[in-house]
Amino acid sequence: MKQDQFIAHYQPLWTAFSAWLDYQQFSKKQRIKQALSEPALDFPRTYRQICHHLALAQSRMYSPLLIGQLNDLVIRGHNQLYGARLHFLHRMATFYLRDLPQLVRSCYRSLLLSGLLFFGSFFAMLVAIQVEPELIYSVISGEQVANMETMYDPARTTRFGREREADSDVFMFGFYIRNNTGIGFQVFAGGMLFGLGSLFFLLFNGLTIGAVAGHLTQLGYIETFWGFVAGHSAFELTAIVLSGVAGFQLAQALIMPGRKSRLLALRDNSQIAIQIVYGAATLFIMAAFVEAFWSSQVWIPVTVKYTIGVVLWVLVIGYFALVGRGRARAA
């Protein structure tokens, strides 16, 4: 193909690609002010095509001017592609290293309420069962109690905390993610019932987990049970509390919208709640990973599990209490 034919055939594509790149340089305000609409373009596919066009132009020894124009398009496309990736990574780092802990601290009233409901019911039930062991059957069924006793039996030679047939770590990783995120979603979505749903699920999960912990402690399965939960408890329990914080943000918009309409208050608070849910989901995934691949191991000494558990609790508390404070003052 001669150079003139090559240019005539592909020039519309190059022009569309250049226009799309130009559009990406405008800020959101500029786009609105100038009533600009984004040109329709499949960026990855078009970028690959233009890279191929440059290679063809070079191999066919077309004019330096054409090769220079194509090379400029390729460089701009490369910067757009990898600049977007770096921008995404920067936003992720900013979210976890500044925005999330600051946001949680700003919702301290919801955090205190959620923590009190969950941990208060948890410890109350744990202590109560030491006094009255039969209370366990008022919370979970006899079949579930027997199953728990089997899963944490000190005589076990297989993995703790799981059914005997569930011997795949990867399978359990997926199971824990589904189970944990299901709990978190219930607690969060319950906020739409004017907070009553969040309150119920925080108490329900606190009482249930506390009943299991109290019963196994009363039986003397201390090393097997507490050694199992030590590693992932910081992530999982904190995530449940954060789900409650997000739910109470929704409830606050419905109960105390202030001068806003309930719809507007719900829209504003939901933006805060969703970001907190992102943090809770991250913690749930981290908890599932530790629970599947670390907590259940029988060969790890319990003192090591306790030590790791304490370290992780300190890190989680320190993260939400301290991270982002310096940046906040600098801003």
pLDDT tens-digit readout, 145-175 = 999 998 888 887 667 766 544 557 788 888 8
| Nearest-angstrom CA–CA distance, 134 and 126 | 12
One domain, residues 139 and 238: yes
The total number of residues shown for the chain amounts to 331
Residue with token string 């690959």:
48
pLDDT (0 to 100) of residue 85: 65
| 175 lies in the same domain as 205 | yes
Angstrom distances, CA of residue 33 to CA of 18, 27, 38: 21, 10, 14
pLDDT at 330: 37
Verify that 292 and 198 share a domain, yes or no: yes
Q: Give the domain-ending residue among 37, 69, 94.
A: 94
Whether 219 is in a domain gets the answer: yes
Of 203, 212, 230, the closest CA to residue 116 belongs to 203
244-278 pLDDT, tens digit each: 999 999 999 999 998 889 999 999 999 999 999 99
In the numeric block, the tokens 């919208």 are attached to 257
**Lowest mean pLDDT across 37-46, 64-73, 127-136:** 37-46
Segment 176-209, tens digit of pLDDT? 899 999 999 999 999 999 999 999 999 999 999 9
* The pLDDT of residue 322: 94
Terminal C-alpha separation, the chain: 58
In a shared domain, residues 125 and 153:
yes
100 occurs within a structural domain: no
One domain for residues 39 and 186: no
Q: Tell me, yes or no, whether 200 and 290 share the same domain.
A: yes
Question: What does the block give as tokens for 157?
Answer: 């030679």
161 neighbors 151 (Cβ within 8 angstroms): yes
Same-domain pairing of 118 and 88: no
The stretch 49-69 carries a mean pLDDT of: 91
In a domain, 99, yes or no: no
pLDDT band of residue 331 (cuts 50, 70, 90) is very low
Residue 82's pLDDT is 76
Domains in the chain, number: 2
User: Which residue range forms the structural domain that includes residue 257?
Assistant: 107-330
In a domain, 261, yes or no: yes
What pLDDT is recorded for position 164? 46
Same domain, 115 and 87: no
Q: Are 160 and 151 in contact (CB under 8 A)?
A: yes
The answer to whether residue 72 sits within a structural domain is: yes
My answer on whether 284 and 183 are in the same domain is yes
Q: Check whether residue 144 and residue 48 sit in a common domain.
A: no
Distance CA 237, CA 104 (A): 15
Within a domain: 310? yes
Tokens of 256: 């105390």
Among 94, 117, 138, give the residue marking a domain's end.
94
- Tell whether 74 and 197 lie within a shared domain: no
Helix runs in 192-261, H state only: 196-219, 222-230, 233-255
Is 134 within the bounds of a domain?
yes
Q: Which of 94, 120, 136 is the last residue of a domain?
A: 94
The pLDDT, as a whole number, for residue 247 is: 97
Tokens of 324: 């982002």
Residue 102 lies in a domain: no
My answer on whether 294 and 153 are in the same domain is yes
In angstroms, the CA 222 to CA 216 distance is 7
